[in-house]
Structure 1
Amino acid sequence: MIPKLEQYATYVGKAQIRKLKEEAKPLKGRHISHINSVATGGGVAEILNSLVLLMNTAGIKTGWRLFKASESFFQVTKKFHNALQGEKINFSARKKRIYLEEIEKNSIMNHFDDHDLIVVHDPQPLAMIKHLKKKQTWLWRCHIDIKHAYPPVWNFISRYIRQYDGMLISMEKYKHSNISIPNFIVQPSIDPLSFKNRDLSQKEISRLLWKQNIDSDKPIVCMISRFDKWKNHDGVLKTYAKVRKKAKCQLVLMGSSASDDPESLQIFADVNHKVKKMKDVTLITHHDDFLVNALQREAKLVYQMSLREGFGLTVSEALWKKTPVIATNRGGIPLQVIDGKTGFIVHSPGQAADATLKLLKNPKLQEDMGAAGREHVKNNFLITRHLHDYLRIFNQYLPAEK
């Protein structure tokens, strides 16, 4: 069943739904499309799977185009992704050529003559604007922290960013002083009606965990992140090794790969090698939103100890399910984890281990943090607030048709 806007009133109230409908009215008759590089895997695809449907149910004709490219292209854009988060790379003429050739191919295959506004997500399709006749508003939505980007890569991509009418970023601190186009702050969100976040009964949770041979009687601590070097699986494994010396528990690592991230297979191989030497660690690699839902509900706590982070929506997913989060202060994580209230901000595996033991030994603290986390997400990080942000920006660029 496709969720209707009215169904979200359960979480945000009828007044907020009425407000969204009013904001959507001036955009009826307009044609909008989002462009990104993957349909599944990663937070961007997950957001678009909900947001595009919700825009249509609100009466706005909204499409979603996928950028199709070779494995070589995604190897290059993964390097770009790392460089934009501060890593030095060998930025060769070959990499530029591969990137620009695939950009040109996709520009030929996509046509937007009858569109009023295009939202391009992240660096992969960014340069399409170079080839397409710009008859409408183009916005670039950047989901990562580019504040300290590697200069050669930044100089290359920023020439395309400047051709856009506006740029959407997740946090004020991600603004770049040498980008003069309008910047808008739009924080990501979760969908409470999605398979990953909707309510589950205890019977459903137990059945899903039983299928994975996970013993619910032993306390679960977990990490749910794609296999990416910035997600810091190694830090979580070091934390768990320290915790196991003082408390009985089990670690569940669940992750998958996005098709635009060819590095992930090597990261998985490294994690798998280390896990084989440890006790009571379960490694799950297939994508299953219901299983993610069950794990985040059953776990005593969730780790998100990223070294770099755009926003980290897995944090809000866990908090929504009343599960405290132990995390680093990277990217948008501190907006979600209020230290000492919805979880703990830590700076080392040792601190993470201490925070873990504190939660495992104090069920009341788990409960209080869980309740605070749920309320925090409800007030700040649900899809309805995300929709409001987009409608506000769209209305600014697209005045009502007469």
Structure 2
Amino acid sequence: MHNARTESQSIAAYDPYVREQQRDAIHEAASELGDVRVAHVNTTASGGGVAEILHSLVPLLNDVGVDTDWLVMDAPDEFYDVTKAIHNGLQGDRSEFTESMRETYRTVTVENAQALTDRYDVVVLHDPQSLGMAPTLAETFPETVLVWRCHIDLTDATPAYLEFVQSYLDPIDRAIFTLPEYGDAISGVEKVAVHPAIDPLTEKNRPLDELSGAAAEAADPESFPFDTDRPLMLQISRFDPWKDPLGVIDAYHDVTESVPDTQLALVGSMPDDDPEGIEVYRKVEAAAADSPDVHLLTNLPDAGINALQRYADVVLQKSLREGFALTVSEALWKGTPVVGGDVGGIPLQIDDGVNGYLVEPMDIAGTADRVTGLLEDDQLRASLGDRGRETVRERFLTPRLVEDYLTLLATVTEGGRAG
């Protein structure tokens, strides 16, 4: 394993977005933790929502006085093939789970657990990739509290994959889920719900006029291959079948029957721990080959994502399954209305008809109707966008997540270990 690098951040910088009561609660909770030492473990330092959250959460926990490290697993490509299959299986894919796959997982997770030599009071293992470290860590560090943070919706998990996860939960002291129902299928561990959040101060989320240098260049509309004066539909997500990019293209074609000059941008990253991404990208590329106004963009810098979410007239998150979808809160924060699948954590962010629209995940025509209605009504787009920004301000910004983790740490360490 190796340490992920983060930039120093100050909780005081968030004062414009934090109520005084919340700010005081954060500092009080941190002071009561004393010398508690924490590590977060995942499989990649870039790409995907987990890494994005940790890039803000870890330095802010350090800033308020909680000694926190972020460790990234070292693993061969075949391990990521296996963990992608596990991820898909936990979301309902019925593919076979072989003994060879299980052995690859066991070998890599044990090796990474053995590589951890520093002592921590709490280790937070993110998602199934790192969960397999738990038995070895519990044996090596019996006094360490082990927390599993599952970002996946387990409500329709394939039994073989769910049983595999369950087999590693005995050493886990607490499991965190995005929604309470995500953890209903597992047993033998205390569970708590914590919603993800976005960071309003990052290059992905701050106002464009606050960007400079390379970030400002990445946000320049001239850097994009489409016409910012024409209507733009946008979906930002991994190239993943659960995000239904092919369904987005189908909905786009329906939209163009009413608003023919509409453009579509499908934007995604290629994270190190997602070997399936390039395969899905090629399928989407083939589906869009005859549509010159469908643009596929990969690995854009954060400032470019920021600009796209602001230039877009409508953002989609047409997921078939979804843990949370940070991209929904990101777009709402920028005042851009979102049409999202009525699955997972998306309804947590979208109040249908109030700050955006929810659609049945397989409903192509319904998705197109909602997008068309928004493209044809400037006032509706503006009103939904304004409400969406306030939803995020109230519920889904980083300071609230910092407070939630401090509360969790106090609970699992019985109020902290004062030094």
- TM-score of the pair, normalised by structure 2: 0.93
2:65 matches 1:53: no
Give the letter for the 2:248 counterpart: V
Q: Which moved more, 1:116-125 or 1:210-219?
A: 210-219
Map residues 107-186 of structure 1 onto 2, 5 A cutoff.
107-113=113-119, 115-132=120-137, 133=140, 134-186=142-194
Q: Is the 8 A contact 1:9 1:16 kept in 2?
A: no
Q: Please tell me the residue identity of whatever aligns with 1:129.
A: A
Q: How does 1:310-329 map to 2 (within 5 A)?
A: 310-329=323-342
Paired with 2:210 and 2:165, the residues of 1 have a C-alpha distance of 48
* Shift in Å, 1:205: 8.7
Gap change, CA 1:318 and 1:293, over 3 Å in 2: same
The residue that corresponds to 2:88 in the other structure is: 82
Look up the match of 2:3: none
The partner residue of 1:392 within 400, 407, 417 is 407
Give yes or no for contact 1:322–1:374 (8 Å, CA) kept in 2. Answer: yes
Deviation at 1:215, TM superposition (A): 1.5
Q: Is the 8 A contact 1:254 1:283 kept in 2?
A: yes
Distance 1:6 1:110 in 2: 32
Task: Give the letter aligned to residue 162 of structure 2.
Answer: W
Q: Is the 8 A contact 2:38 2:123 kept in 1?
A: yes
The corresponding residue for 2:235 is 223
Q: Distance in 2 between matches of 1:217 and 1:2?
A: 38
Distance 1:112-1:146 versus aligned 2 partners, 3 A rule:
farther
Residue in 1 aligned with 2:272?
259
Gaps of 5+ in 1: none
CA distance in 1, matches of 2:237, 2:272: 15
- Superposed counterparts of 1:187-336, under 5 Å: 187-201=195-209, 204=216, 208-247=220-259, 248-336=261-349
**C-alpha displacement at 1:212, in angstroms?**
2.0
What does the per-residue CA deviation read over 1:220-248, in whole Å, with 9 as the maximum and x for residues that have no partner?
A: 11111111110000111001001111112
1:263 is matched by which residue type in structure 2?
E
Q: Contact 1:205–1:294 (CA<8 Å) still a contact in 2? A: no
Q: Which amino acid aligns with 1:3?
A: Q
Deviation (angstroms), 1:400: 3.5
Shift of 1:177: 4.9
SS at match of 1:124: helix
Q: Matched residue of 1:345: which SS?
A: strand
Letter in 2 for 1:369: L
C-alpha distance in structure 2 between counterparts of 1:264 and 1:354, whole Å? 29
Q: What is the Cα deviation at residue 118 of structure 1? A: 0.6
Closer/same/farther in 2, CA of residues 298 and 3 from structure 1, 3 Å limit: same
Q: Residue by residue, what CA displacement relative to the aligned partner does 1:31-50 show, whole Å, maximum 9, x if unpaired? A: 10000011001000000011
Residue identity opposite 2:371 in structure 1:
T
Question: Helix, strand or coil for the counterpart of 1:322?
Answer: coil
Residue in 1 that maps onto 2:364: 349
Q: Describe the SS at the equivalent of 1:155.
A: helix
In structure 2, list runs of 5 or more residues that go unmatched: 1-6
Partner Cα separation in structure 2 for residue 206 and residue 288 of structure 1? 7
Q: What's the secondary structure of 1:252's corresponding residue? A: strand
Alpha-carbon RMSD across the aligned residues, in angstroms, is 1.6
Q: How many residues align?
A: 401
The alpha-carbon deviation at position 285 of structure 1 amounts to: 1.0
Change (3 A) 1:382 1:238: same
Give how far 1:127 is off.
1.2
User: Which segment drifts farther, 197-206 or 286-295?
Assistant: 197-206
Change in CA separation of 1:339 and 1:8 when aligned onto 2, cut-off 3 Å: same
1:28–1:61 Cα contact (<8 Å) kept: no
Provide the C-alpha distance between the structure 2 equivalents of 1:16 and 1:238, rounded to a whole number of angstroms. 44
Shift of 1:157: 1.7
Contact (CA 8 Å) 1:8, 1:17: kept in 2 or not?
no
Q: Distance in 1 between matches of 2:130 and 2:116?
A: 11
Choose which of 67, 76, 80 in structure 1 pairs with 2:73.
67
SS of the residue 1:112 aligns to = coil
